[in-house]
């Protein structure tokens, strides 16, 4: 479990630092009002791609840790109910 703990701490540190940086402020401004961000000179495509890449990297890390700790990844593990659970978490959790 130490690897999982270290991964969680690193994830939190990276996200907090990113949110408080100029990149994070640009991503938040694109999320809030894309047209206004574009008018202010923010390259919205660049920051959308950056947000996607960061999210995909953390999703990949989560998948790697899942496979490492459970030793096997089967399609049966991720059925419709698991997808529904994740959707409910996203809806109830909000945008962040």
- Render pLDDT for 42-93 as a digit per residue (tens, 0 to 9): 999 999 999 999 989 988 988 888 888 888 888 887 888 888 888 888 888 8
DSSP code of residue 77: G
User: Where are the alpha helices (H) located in the chain, listed in sequence order?
Assistant: 2-19, 22-32, 34-39, 44-70, 80-93
Evaluate if residue 96 carries a pLDDT over 70.
no
| Under 8 Å between Cβ of 96 and 27 | no
pTM to 2 decimals?
A: 0.76
What is the SS3 assignment for 74?
A: coil
């Amino acid at each position: 479990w130490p690897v999982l703990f270290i991964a969680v701490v690193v994830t939190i540190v990276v996200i907090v630092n990113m949110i408080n940086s100029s990149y994070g402020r640009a991503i938040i401004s694109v999320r809030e009002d894309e047209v206004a961000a574009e008018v202010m000179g923010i390259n919205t495509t660049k920051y959308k791609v950056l947000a996607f890449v960061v999210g995909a990297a953390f999703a990949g890390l989560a998948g790697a840790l899942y496979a490492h700790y459970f030793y096997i990844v089967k399609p049966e593990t991720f059925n419709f109910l698991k997808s529904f659970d994740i959707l409910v978490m996203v809806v109830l959790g909000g945008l962040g």
